[in-house]
Amino acid sequence: MSKDKTLDILRQVQAGEIGPDEALLLLRKDPFEDLGYAKPDHHRELRQGIAEVIYGAGKTAEQIKGITAAMMEMGQKTILITRLSPEVADEVATSVPLQYHQMARIGLIGQIPPPDGIGKIVVATGGTSDMPVAEEAAITAEALGNEVVRLYDVGVAGLHRLLSRLDDIMNARAIVAIAGMEGALASVIGGLADCPVIGVPTSVGYGAAFGGLSALLTMLNSCASGVSVVNIDNGFGAGYLASMINHQRSV
């Protein structure tokens, strides 16, 4: 159940249009829905502030159609589907108004909301080959209500490229640093920024990169303070965490 729908129920109680018992029933009804093959968590937005996101890999088009229909029925306005293949996206789009971002492998139902975060999220990559993971992070952050600045191909092999964008780095509320190979970008940015830096190791690189393991270990061993690390190629997790940081307000 979305926040808007919950607030609507509470306003109806305030206006005397429905009684407390009826409102309680509506709020308690179906915190999750059993579709047999999936159990969409309709109360996740109430608990966490962000509605459930669909992980598309391994799901059939029919399963994704059923899950999205259940979410839309419960009032979810923006639905994010990650790791969605082009073939499944084409099938899903025959039933729902799906926007497909092929590089990021993300499907989006509904509109990206206006930014309501405190500041800007910077998404930076070491190289062009890291862009698929970066776009997953950037589109995730945008779908969660953030203004995103993209800095692509600013890796340490040409440090002047990054230093030319110091204003963006220093004015960011959170930074997602995405790199394969040796993964040094996160440490370098961590030494320049006064905000949290989220390192994303990618599987880009030659044999000794070990599918992103080398970059992961480099980022975990960063000498710069304020650097945290998500899993290899996990652009979604980084964009989600950056959004949480950008929406944290002091009380």
- Do 105 and 124 have their domain in common? no
Report yes or no on 26 lying in a domain: no
Edge to edge, the sheet with strand 54-55 lists 54-55, 79-82, 106-109, 98-101
Low-confidence residues in the chain, pLDDT < 50: none
- Do 130 and 241 have their domain in common? yes
Phi and psi (nearest 5°) for 104? -80, -15
Cβ atoms of 128 and 99 within 8 Å: the answer is no
Provide the pLDDT for residue 40: 63
- Do 143 and 208 have their domain in common? yes
Report yes or no on 7 lying in a domain: no
Phi and psi (nearest 5°) for 124? -120, 145
- Domain span including residue 201: 120-246
- Do 239 and 143 have their domain in common? yes
Provide the pLDDT for residue 18: 81
- Do 228 and 154 have their domain in common? yes
**Measured between alpha carbons, how far is 182 from 72 in angstroms, rounded to an integer?**
43
User: Would you call 15 helix, strand, or coil by DSSP?
Assistant: coil
Count of structural domains within the chain: 2
- Do 196 and 100 have their domain in common? no
Provide the pLDDT for residue 249: 80
Q: Which residues are within 8 A (CB) of 166 and not within 5 positions of it... i.e. 6 or more apart?
A: 192
- Do 35 and 61 have their domain in common? yes
Hunting for tokens 């394969």 — which residue is that?
180
Hunting for tokens 């980084």 — which residue is that?
238
- Do 97 and 174 have their domain in common? no
**Measured between alpha carbons, how far is 81 from 77 in angstroms, rounded to an integer?**
13
Report yes or no on 5 lying in a domain: no
pTM value is 0.83
